[in-house]
């Protein structure tokens, strides 16, 4: 069992056994047939992943490793808000006729801000500080720009990352206001683990912990049987994460610079209903 599997199973069991249902409340999300998409939730879930021990990827089912990296590069490296720059179709439902998701995600990371050292966007400021002032307690990004929320087709879910160097290890806290546990948890953990590996490598640091803080960790009502089956499955050891160590510039990374060696996983989960 991977450490990611262990955290996922314990979290899901806790939500299912002690979580609070939204039945009887008015909820925004709907299923495709128009039925309200209710959830069972826990508030303030915190999971920790020590990246120096193993790569945190689920083996209960396959995580599309390349697609997850492609999306994180789309946001953090390309700083794009257009689905035409993305190789998957996971954002199509929130895109307009031109492919834009509005002033969200990558758009916010690409806005330049003034500092005493000059102008930086949020990503470049992180990279600058990790190399020049690594022990600063001010290294963070934030996508939740209230000024632009009305022009975002989807408010950011994973909205803030705080980076912190302890000794020679790069740690990060990922703050998420809301998470669909079945659909997004394994995906987001994989993505931000890769991001920390990238930032650490180009900054001459080792990887430390990824701490994931979820304000509203929920399982949708129609996902409950799927989750119950999933967490009873056979698990496998975590695979070996391999990164191209020749890359020294964050903007030179491509999806082909990463691979997993010995990744075993369970059967895919098919026909997951999506609430929008």
* 137 annotated to bind ligand: yes
Active site positions, annotated: 157
* 219 annotated to bind ligand: yes
Rounded distance, CA 258 to CA 67, Å? 12
* 13 annotated to bind ligand: no
* 188 annotated to bind ligand: yes
* 158 annotated to bind ligand: no
What letter does residue 118 receive in the DSSP assignment?
Answer: E
Rounded distance, CA 153 to CA 259, Å? 32
* 38 annotated to bind ligand: no
Maximum CA extent, the chain: 55
Sheet containing 158-166: give its strands across: 20-21, 39-50, 206-220, 169-180, 158-166, 140-142
* 14 annotated to bind ligand: no
Cβ-contact 189, 179 below 8 angstroms: no
Q: Encoding tokens for residue 123? A: 């990503």
* 177 annotated to bind ligand: yes
* 201 annotated to bind ligand: no
* 144 annotated to bind ligand: no
What letter does residue 251 receive in the DSSP assignment?
Answer: G
Q: Encoding tokens for residue 188? A: 């987001």
* 138 annotated to bind ligand: yes
- CA distances, 64 to each of 4, 57, 95 (Å): 15, 10, 22
Q: Which of 248, 157, 245 is nearest to 202 (CA)?
A: 248
Binding-site residue numbers for dUMP are 137-138, 177-180, 188, 218-220
Binding-site residue numbers are 64, 137-138, 177-180, 188, 218-220, 275
């Amino acid at each position: 069992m991977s450490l990611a599997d262990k955290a996922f199973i314990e979290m899901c069991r806790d939500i299912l056994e002690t979580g609070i249902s939204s039945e009887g409340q008015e909820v925004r999300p709907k299923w495709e047939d128009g039925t309200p998409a209710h959830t069972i939730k826990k508030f303030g879930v915190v999971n920790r992943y020590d990246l120096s021990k193993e790569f945190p990827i689920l083996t209960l089912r396959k995580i599309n490793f390349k697609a997850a990296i492609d999306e994180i590069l789309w946001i953090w490296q390309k700083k794009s808000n257009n689905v035409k720059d993305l190789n998957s179709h996971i954002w199509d439902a929130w895109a307009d006729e031109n492919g834009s998701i509005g002033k969200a995600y990558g758009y916010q990371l690409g806005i330049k801000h003034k500092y005493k050292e000059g102008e930086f966007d949020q990503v470049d400021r992180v990279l600058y500080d990790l190399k020049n002032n690594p022990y600063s307690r001010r290294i963070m990004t934030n996508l939740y720009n209230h000024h632009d929320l009305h022009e975002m087709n989807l408010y950011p879910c994973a909205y803030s990352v705080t980076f912190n160097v302890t000794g020679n290890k790069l740690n990060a806290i990922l703050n998420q206001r809301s998470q669909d546990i079945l659909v997004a948890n394994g995906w987001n953990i994989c993505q931000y683990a890769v991001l920390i590996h990238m930032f650490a490598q180009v900054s001459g640091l080792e990887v430390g912990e990824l701490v994931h803080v979820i304000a509203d960790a929920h399982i949708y009502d129609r996902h409950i049987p799927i989750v119950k089956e999933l967490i009873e499955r056979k698990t496998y050891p975590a695979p070996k994460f391999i990164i191209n160590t020749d890359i020294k510039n964050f903007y030179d990374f491509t999806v082909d610079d990463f691979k997993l060696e010995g990744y075993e996983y369970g059967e895919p989960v098919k026909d997951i209903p999506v609430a929008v």
